[in-house]
């Protein structure tokens, strides 16, 4: 079956459909990871986006329940150069074709992804539409142009849990009790929870809009701010809650949580041209002078010039474009990074940050 990807700039890419059928709009972005397509599909940070994979071979190892990062895929569409209907992996329980069809995700293969990614790099992330139903390119282009996505939209509320839930460790750590941590779910990934448990956190995961007063009433040892999709600036409720928590409890934020922390510090955020998505982003730790290869997935960043240097220390920078990748408050127990230290998929260079959170709670 034929499929069409239409972009707001008037570009048309045709290919072969796989997965579900229908039409879906979203922001068209690319990911440079060589593996981990299932983790990418199920990362809630991709809500509202059509993801283009630069790795040419997709689907060849199938899917497995253990690789899900959340309850379902959140992408609007999936684009690949070559799609394999056959999977070969001893852990595979389902082909990617069947998995996408079951979850209603439209895919398109046999697309010149190199040309598509170069267009996104030059023009920037664009609104687009995938269709398996309509050959009317002009209509699809106009529909892509009229789509209202990303800027100004609160996507975190749409992917957050509806009710609090607990995730407890099964053992003691270094002879101590586990630290009680409240994790705000703006689109949290399963392996973030796993890494917090690994270092000894007894977790209560709460919805994105949970009031700070309710969090403080639980008397946690620390608060975690998760990753999530979209523009941080519309999340005024989250920024307000973080401001009420600053100085009251140790706070660690990643990705969207990092951006929200920046806003709570009084800074500003801005939209990147095409974002950082993949498992190979070089980040320099300015405190240790070491370079970490990191996993990233974001389209917005904190403006370092908007932060008060007397209050906020920049701790990490991206070596590709010098964007802010990490910061900490100089007097309050709060720090954050833009990238994903849980790295699922990706390198494990930044796992130490979960240990840093533990040390921060020990001092408080």
Which of these is catalytic: 8, 97, 255, 329? 255
Identify whether 255 is a catalytic site residue: yes
Cis peptide, bond prior to residue 255, ω within 30 of zero: no
Residue 253's contacts (CB-CB under 8 Å, 6 or more residues apart) are 224, 225, 226, 260, 261, 334, 335, 336, 337
Identify whether 292 is a catalytic site residue: no
Which of these is catalytic: 258, 276, 298, 340? 340
Query: Which residues partner with 179 through β-bridges?
Result: 201
Identify whether 340 is a catalytic site residue: yes
Element (H, E) at 284: strand 269-285
Tokens coding 281: 């982003």
* 315, 285 Cβ separation under 8 angstroms: yes
Which of these is catalytic: 8, 69, 76, 342? 342
Long-range contacts of 146-150 (CB under 8 A, 24+ apart): 147/8, 147/25, 147/26, 149/25, 149/26, 149/27, 149/48, 150/27, 150/48, 150/230, 150/231, 150/271, 150/299
For the annotated catalytic residues, the residue numbers are 255, 340, 342
């Amino acid at each position: 079956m034929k499929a069409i990807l239409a972009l707001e700039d008037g570009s048309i890419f045709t290919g072969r459909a796989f997965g579900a059928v229908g039409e879906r709009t979203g922001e068209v972005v690319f990911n440079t990871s060589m593996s981990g397509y299932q983790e990418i599909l199920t990362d809630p940070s991709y809500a509202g986006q059509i993801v283009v994979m630069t790795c040419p071979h997709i689907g060849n190892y199938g899917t497995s329940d253990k690789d899900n990062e959340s309850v379902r895929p959140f992408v609007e569409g999936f684009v690949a150069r070559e799609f394999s209907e056959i999977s070969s992996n001893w852990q595979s329980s389902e082909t990617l074709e069947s998995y996408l069809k079951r979850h209603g995700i439209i895919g398109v293969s046999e697309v010149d992804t190199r040309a598509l990614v170069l267009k996104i790099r030059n023009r920037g992330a664009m609104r687009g539409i995938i269709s398996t139903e309509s050959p009317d390119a002009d209509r699809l282009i106009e529909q892509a142009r009229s789509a209202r996505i990303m800027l100004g939209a609160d996507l975190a509320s749409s992917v957050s849990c509806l009710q609090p839930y607990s995730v407890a460790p099964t053992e003691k750590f270094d002879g101590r009790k586990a630290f009680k941590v409240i994790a705000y779910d703006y689109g949290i990934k399963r392996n973030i929870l796993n890494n917090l448990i690994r270092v000894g956190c007894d977790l209560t995961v709460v919805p994105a809009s949970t009031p700070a007063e309710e969090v403080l009433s639980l008397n946690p040892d620390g608060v975690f701010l998760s990753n999530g999709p979209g523009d941080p600036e519309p999340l005024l409720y989250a920024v307000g809650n973080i401001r009420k928590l600053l100085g009251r409890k140790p706070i660690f934020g990643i990705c969207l949580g990092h951006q929200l922390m920046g806003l709570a510090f009084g800074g500003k955020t801005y939209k990147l041209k095409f974002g950082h998505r993949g498992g190979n982003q070089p980040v320099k730790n300015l405190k240790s002078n070491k370079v970490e290869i990191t996993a990233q997935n974001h389209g917005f960043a904190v403006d370092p010039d908007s932060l008060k240097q007397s209050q906020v220390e920049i701790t990490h920078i991206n070596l590709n474009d010098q964007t802010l990748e990490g910061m900490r408050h100089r007097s309050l127990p709060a720090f954050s990074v833009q990238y994903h230290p849980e790295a699922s998929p990706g390198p494990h260079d930044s796992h130490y940050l979960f240990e840093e959170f533990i040390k921060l709670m020990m001092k408080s």
